[in-house]
Structure 1
Amino acid sequence: MSEQPVSQQAPVAGGADLRPRVEKLLGDILGLMGFPARLDMQDAADGSLSVALHFEAGPPPGVEQGRRSQVLDSLQFLLNKMLHRPGVDRRWVVLGCGAHPEPRQRREPQQPQAAAEKAPAQQAAAPAPKAQAAPPPPPAKQQAQRGADKQAQRGAASKAQADGDERTLAVEEDAALREAVRKLAEKSASLGRFYALAAMKQDDRARVLKAVEGVVGLKVAAEGEGRNRRVVFTPEKPAPLPKRSLLPDDDEDDFDE
C-alpha cells in the first residue's frame, strides 16, 4: 500500500486519477523486474508527482539511495510514456530511490529585447579600450607552443576516433565476457530480438564488438555519446513480441509521437 501524504498545494489537472495508475504500472513493472518496492507519493513544488521507491529487498544493480542513475532515468521515461496519451493534459512523474528526488533548477531564458537594450548602454558607459599588440613570444617558446598544440590535436583526433569506433582500440580479451556476449548475439539473431548493453566502459565496449565478430544474422554497433553510449544488437530478421509479454496499458500509439 502506497503512502499518499496530503499536499498543501492546489490540485493539478489530471492528478485525480494519476496516482492509482502510477501505483498500478510501477507495481507491475517492478514486479516483472523482480524488485518490488513500497511507493511514497507526494506533489512536488514544480507541479510534478514525486515518487520515492523503497525497495523491499534492496535496490536493483546500478541504483543507489538518494542518487540518480540510468536505471531510474529509463524507468521514469518508460512510465511517463505509458501514462501520457496524445491530446490530454500531462503531468510529469519523477522517481527517486529511498527519498524524493530534488527538483531540477530551470534557467529562465534572457529576453532578446532586454539584452539588446542592455548591450548599447554598457558600450556607451565604458570607453573602448585601445588595442595593443601583444609582444611576440621568444622563438623557443613559439616552438614549445607549436609542439603542445600538435600533441593536443593528435590526442583529440585519437579520442574522436576511439569514440567513433571502439573496434580500433587494442584491448586484452576477456574469455568470460566473450562467451556471454556471443551467446547473447546468437540469441538475438535466432529469436529476432533487439538487445542493448549500457553503462559500460570504453574498453568493455571494444571487447564486446570484437567478441561478436563472425556471428551471422545480426548487426552490432556502438551508438550514443557520453554516458548514454551503448552497444546495440540489431537482428537482420526482427520478430514481433508476443502479446502476453507486453507491459500493462502498453499502447503503440504512445510511441508514434
Structure 2
Amino acid sequence: MSDASSTPASQELRPRVEKLLSDILGLMGFPARLDFKDASDGSLCVALHFQDGPPPGVEQGKRSQVMDSLQFLLNKMLHRPGAERRFVLLGAGAHPEPRSERARKEPAAPAPAAPAPAAPAPRAAPPAAPARGQARAAPVKAAPAAPKPVAARPVEGDERALEVSEEPSLRAAARALAEKSATLGRAYALVTMKSEDRARVLKAVGDVPGLKVSCEGEGRNRRVVFTPDKLAPLPKRSMLPADDDEDELEG
C-alpha cells in the first residue's frame, strides 16, 4: 500500500522493503499486510497488520523486543557500506512515531530541587581530664559489624519438567524451524517466549534427528536455542555489514 505523497526515493526503497519483510515474515510463519508512510524526519514507516495475529511477545500499537530486532535486521540488510541510508521504522498494527516526534510530545522532566543546607553538627565537649592519681581508661574498640548475607541468585527452572498442553500451530512452526536448522546447518534462537511455550517447543522437537535443542539465559533473555550437529559456515555474501551504529536504527 502506498500514499500519494511518497517521494521517488521512497518509491524505489519500498519494493525492496516489501520483498525482504514478506520473506522474513513468511519464514517466521506470521504473514502480514504492509502499510507504508513517509515520516517527517525522512525515514520510512511501515505498519505490519498480521493476518493471523501477531507473534508471541508482540502487542498491537506497542514496541517490543521482537519488533525492534526485526527492524534492526531489516536495516542491516538494506544499508550496504557506501550506499545512501534511509532508515525503516516498523510498528505492529500502526505506524511508529519517529524518535524526534516522540521526544517532542514527552513532557520535560522537572529539575530536582536543591537540597537545603544541613545544619552544622554541635561540637562535642572535650572529655574531662582524669583526677590526679586516677588511671586513664583505655578506649574500647567497637566490634566489627557482621557481613550482610548475600541473597542467592534464583535458578531458572527446567522447562522439560513442565506439564503443558499441546498447541498444534506452535508445534508445527517449531518442527519446521528445527528441520530447517538440521538440514541447512544453521543455528537459530526463539526469544520473548513464556516458560510454558518454551516447554512446548522442547517437547515438539525432541525427536528431530541431527539437532540439539536447549534453553539458555535467564529472565527476559532466556531463549530456546537450535544447534545442528553439523554447523555450516555462513557464505560471505550473506554476512551483514558491521559498520552501522545500532543507536541510529532505533525508532
Q: TM-score under structure 2 normalisation? A: 0.56
Structure 2 counterpart of 1:110: none
Gaps of at least 5 residues in structure 1 are 7-14, 107-121, 132-145, 244-249
CA deviation after TM superposition for structure 1 residue 199, in Å: 2.7
Counterpart check, 1:26 vs 2:24: no
The alpha-carbon deviation at position 80 of structure 1 amounts to: 0.7
Give the counterpart of 1:40 among 19, 36, 41: 36
Partner Cα separation in structure 2 for residue 254 and residue 219 of structure 1: 26
Structural RMSD (CA): 4.5
Q: Which has the larger radius of gyration?
A: 2
In structure 1, the residue matched to 2:90 is 95
Aligned pairs (5 A) from 1:16-165: 17=9, 19-32=10-23, 33=25, 35=31, 37-44=33-40, 47-53=41-47, 55=49, 57=51, 60-62=54-56, 63-104=58-99, 126-127=117-118, 130=121, 153-154=151-152, 157=153, 159=154, 161-162=155-156
Task: Show CA shifts across 1:118-164 (max 9, x none).
Answer: xxxx79x8346649xxxxxxxxxxxxxx9xx87x925xx2x2x21xx
Alignment length (residue pairs): 199
| Paired AA for residue 189 in structure 1 | A
Shift of 1:74: 3.1
Cα contact 1:36–1:55 (8 A) shared by 2: yes
Equivalent position SS for 2:16: helix
Q: From 176, 180, 189, give the equivalent of 1:196.
A: 189
Q: Compared with structure 1, are the counterparts of its residues 130 and 212 closer, same or farther at alpha carbon in structure 2 (3 Å cutoff)?
A: farther
Q: What TM-score results when the alignment is normalised by the length of structure 1?
A: 0.55
Residue 173 of structure 1 deviates from its aligned partner by 5.2
SS across alignment from 1:153: coil
Q: Supply the distance in 1 between the matched residues of 2:50 and 2:207 (Cα, whole angstroms).
A: 43
1:185/1:215 contact within 8 Å kept:
yes
Q: CA, structure 1 residues 224+16, in 2 after alignment: closer, same or farther (shift >3 Å)?
A: farther
Give the structure with the larger helix fraction. 1
Q: State the 1:43 CA deviation.
A: 2.4
Match of 2:3 in 1: 3
Give distance in 2, aligned partners of 1:190 and 1:98. 34
CA shift in 2, pair 1:126/1:202, >3 Å:
same
